[in-house]
Amino acid sequence: MAGLTIGKLAAAEGVSVETVRFYQRKGLLALPARGTSGFREYLEGDRRRLAFIRRARALGFTLGEISDLLGSAETGSAGDITRAAEAKLAEISAQIAALVALQCRLRRLVSVCAYGNRADCVALHVREPGLAVTAAAG
């Protein structure tokens, strides 16, 4: 099989050439040897590795986590990938819980400020306690 140029590799996986180079600088993709044409030639294994990186990024894994996962993926070690996915799932669940709590607090703030007593709207409490809040003349 003939190797792919960086442009063809990038196009095959729907990324830019700069993305491929970025992953090389981060050590996630190797810099291949130059072929007889003088261009670097990427092989099918490079394309699969790039596809794995893209899928892992889409699942929220960091580049560091992906670096750790690549070895497991290449050896077919499902256990390591399962543990990493479970840890990522727990992290995402915690983030969702925090966002839901924030959403509730913001809804209460909107409700109080829009429909409640103006004095109860914490968004208006910039001044020192005891100072009257005056409405702008309109």
Give residue-wise pLDDT tens across range 86-95. Answer: 999 999 999 9
CATH code of residue 18: 1.10.1660.10
Residue 4 in any domain: the answer is: yes
Give the domain range for residue 51.
1-59
Total domains in the chain come to 2
Residue 65 in any domain: the answer is: no
Mark whether 55 and 7 lie in a shared domain: yes
Residue 32 in any domain: the answer is: yes
Residue 69 in any domain: the answer is: no
Q: Which stretches of the chain are DSSP H helices?
A: 6-13, 17-25, 44-58, 63-75, 78-115
pTM of the model: 0.72
Mark whether 8 and 54 lie in a shared domain: yes
Residue 10 in any domain: the answer is: yes
Locate 88 and state its tokens.
Answer: 């990522």
Residue 110 in any domain: the answer is: yes
Which tens digits make up the pLDDT trace of 30-87? 999 888 888 889 999 999 999 999 999 999 999 999 999 998 777 777 888 899 999 9
Residue 61 CB neighbour total at 10 angstroms: 19
